Amino acid sequence: MQVLEYDNDRIVYDPELLAEPPQQCLEPMYWQQQGAVIGSASGRGTTWFVRGKRLEMALRHYYRGGLFGRLVRDHYWFTGWEKTRSLAELRLLQHLSGAGVNVPRPVAARVRKKGWLYQADLLTEKVAGARDLVALLQHEPLPQERWEQIGQMIARMHGCGVCHTDLNAHNILLDAEQQVWLIDFDKCHLATGEGWQQGNLDRLHRSFVKEVAKAGIRWDAQAWQWLLIGYQAKAISPPEAG
């Protein structure tokens, strides 16, 4: 990763993945002018899917959620460059990708410092042909093998000491080759000790139960047991503190 600093901005980027100008690639308008926008997704903000010279990517600006987010939409309190939302997520993705966990590779992150506040953007690899579990399970159930693979990938993430604070059915993808991917590591972190792993699994279980009622997904207790079989087969102890 290389670091570029100018004015009150800091950009961290991977020159092996990014062929475009780092100062411009984190602006949606740049990709629109290049005719390189290939899609978008709406959530708290808009995620832009773009086609770069070396790979397809997803560009996201960080927005606050909840009641406070209505007042301060996209500014955060600055306490250090590496503690900013975009750089922290980039470093976590680096850690996971380097350990063999299927996560989008980080391409570039920007922090725009404004006094004691900052704004943040992140550019990551777009997983080709991927769909989340909610979209998939609305049409057909998954076989036991796939559920076990999902459990194994979650265990691999936990083995790296990463606590996914928003592990849910929307943040697990299957690509065109039926490979499992984990996404959305904003506000996630490295953790030690015990208990947090089960907390992640409990959150995921609640997500499946919710989506059965909300989206009519084809999921049941047997599918969950298959996931746990895969998880327990690959689970290893998290690293100890210090």
Which of 94, 109, 125 is the endpoint of a domain?
125
**What percent of the chain clears pLDDT 90, i.e. is strictly above it?**
88
pLDDT digits (tens, 9 = 90+) for 211-226: 999 999 999 999 999 9
CATH of the domain at 114: 3.30.200
Residue (of 82, 83, 93) closest to 123 by Cα position: 93
The mean pLDDT value for 66-77 works out to: 72
Please give the pLDDT value at position 242.
31
Indicate whether 187 and 144 sit together in one domain: yes
Q: pTM, whole model, 2 decimals?
A: 0.90
Q: Does the annotation mark 166 as catalytic?
A: yes
Cα(71)–Cα(64) distance, integer angstroms:
9
Domain residue limits at 148: 131-234
Cα(195)–Cα(225) distance, integer angstroms:
19
pLDDT digits (tens, 9 = 90+) for 80-118: 999 999 999 999 999 999 999 999 999 999 999 999 999
Catalytic residue among 166, 186, 202, 220: 166
* Mean pLDDT, the chain, integer: 93
How many Cα atoms occupy the beta-carbon half-sphere of 184 within 13 Å? 13
Look at residue 241 and tell me if it is in a domain.
no
Please give the pLDDT value at position 240.
40
Look at residue 240 and tell me if it is in a domain.
no
DSSP state of 169: G
